[in-house]
Amino acid sequence: MKKILIIEDEKNIRNRIVDTLDLADEPYHIFAAQHGREGLEIARREMPDLIISDVMMPEMNGYEVLKALRAEEATSTIPFIFLSAKADIAHIREGMNLGADDYLPKPFSIDELLSVVATRLQRQETQERRSHHEMDLMRLRIASSLPHEFRTPLSALIGFTEMLRNYQNLDDGAITMMLDQIRANTERLERLVENFLLFSQIEVASLRLKTHAIFPNVVENFTPDLLEERVRYIAAKYKRTSDIQMNLLGGTLPITTVHLRKIIEELVDNACKFSPAGTPIRTEASVTESAYLLTVTDVGRGMTEESVAQIDAYIQFEREIYEQQGMGLGLALVKRIVSAYIGSVDIDSEVGKGTRVAVTLPLSPQPNS
């Protein structure tokens, strides 16, 4: 039975809503509070499936109740409907900005009340089913790809470690080669775990509407040197520093250094991985009046339009044809990060000719001079 909390200081209206829902075809478990503070306490205790709240109330108004609920993980996703006679545009916008799901103006009819309640509960059920489906799908992808991706570098680490046990019979060149391979496979494992954890955190935060915990409001200044260092670092891992062409401008962006570096690393890594050595990889960054544009272009394998449309985590295209490292997390991770910062990712790719990935991020607003 769905639980619904009514927060309304006017007794007649509160009783009318309770009586209406009690007589509805769908049985509901109804809780009622006569002011905001009491409603907040009931919400925390009972975890209702839906809250209907007046705006102007003593003790604690509706906006304050909603803000408090959205700030707590346990109650942050409870659907919230505002009920108020002040149904003008300004009040509606204020409520929606705080995270309200709907707005029912007074006076309202019985049919209007029942309709908005049924609609909100149905949407919540649909969202929960979709979330469970997406989580199940991600679990299946992880289960099919993760064992292989861990096993490959681990096997190399074990093998080279065993060979080094007989170091007395090896020359310096062989030992150096083995140590380089151990380091390379260790870094591969580290990056695999790092990307897996970051992607999982983003997915869980998105489902719980708590992405602000991972993507804080920041403003940071990025110099060309910082960007170039990341590009060269990734290219060096593939011994392709001579293939890199750079024209990078800095900028002041509302994104953390960690996340911008991750975007560059994944794009350049993909370009190195999916294009042959000796072909150019061009990285460019430019600034417009309102946006920062970062592009990475390679002359490599390319992708079909269908493959571009299906980009997601733990999906690798043509794995049966090409042996490659990774779980398909790179571009999917970039898309999640950029989206969280209200940016966009455009992919222009042609099979056999290469790929161009363009990331657009908003610039930080400049203070008035």
DSSP secondary structure string for all residues of 305-369: HHHHHT--TT--TTTTTS---S-S-HHHHHHHHHHHTT-EEEEEEETTTEEEEEEEEEPPPPPP-
- Residue 3 scores a pLDDT above 50: yes
- Residue 217 scores a pLDDT above 80: no
Mean local confidence (pLDDT), 288-293:
89
Q: Are residues 209 and 227 in the same domain?
A: no
Using the 3D structure, point to which of 108, 138, 173 is the last residue of a domain: 108
Q: How many CA atoms lie within 13 A of 237 on its CB side?
A: 20
- Residue 286 scores a pLDDT above 70: yes
Q: Are residues 104 and 161 in the same domain?
A: no
The Cα 154–Cα 343 span in angstroms is 37
Q: Are residues 193 and 219 in the same domain?
A: no
Indicate the burial class of 306 (C-beta count within 10 angstroms; 0-12, 13-18, 19 or more): exposed
Q: Are residues 156 and 167 in the same domain?
A: yes
Range of the domain at 251: 215-369
Q: Are residues 23 and 77 in the same domain?
A: yes
Residue 239 lies in a domain: yes
Q: Are residues 66 and 169 in the same domain?
A: no
Q: Are residues 344 and 195 in the same domain?
A: no
Model confidence pLDDT, tens digit, residues 72-119: 878 888 888 888 765 555 666 666 676 677 788 777 788 888 888 888
Stated as kind and residue range, the H or E segment containing 41 is helix 36-46
Residue 266 lies in a domain: yes
Q: Is 221 helix (H, G, I), strand (E, B) or coil?
A: strand
Q: Are residues 360 and 220 in the same domain?
A: yes
Residue 121 lies in a domain: no
Using the 3D structure, point to which of 188, 213, 238 is the last residue of a domain: 213
Using the 3D structure, point to which of 183, 213, 243 is the last residue of a domain: 213
Q: Are residues 249 and 187 in the same domain?
A: no
Q: Are residues 230 and 337 in the same domain?
A: yes
Residue 363 lies in a domain: yes
CATH of residue 190's domain is 1.10.287.130
Q: Are residues 357 and 230 in the same domain?
A: yes
- Residue 172 scores a pLDDT above 50: yes
Model confidence pLDDT, tens digit, residues 310-340: 665 444 434 433 344 443 577 888 888 888 8
Q: What is the amino acid identity at position 178?
A: M
Q: Give me the number of domains the chain comprises.
A: 3
The Cα 187–Cα 237 span in angstroms is 10
Q: Is 143 helix (H, G, I), strand (E, B) or coil?
A: helix
Q: What is the amino acid identity at position 329?
A: L
pTM of the model: 0.54
Highest mean pLDDT among 160-174, 191-205, 309-323: 160-174
Q: Are residues 227 and 367 in the same domain?
A: yes
* Cβ pair 284, 247 in contact under 8 A: yes
Average pLDDT, the chain: 82
Mean local confidence (pLDDT), 4-11:
92
Residue 223 lies in a domain: yes
Residue 158 lies in a domain: yes
pLDDT of residue 324: 44
pLDDT of residue 263: 93
DSSP string, 229-275: HHHHHHHHHTT-GGGEEEEE--EEESS-HHHHHHHHHHHHHHHHHTS
Task: Return the minimum-mean-pLDDT range out of 51-60, 85-94, 244-253.
Answer: 85-94
pLDDT of residue 87: 53
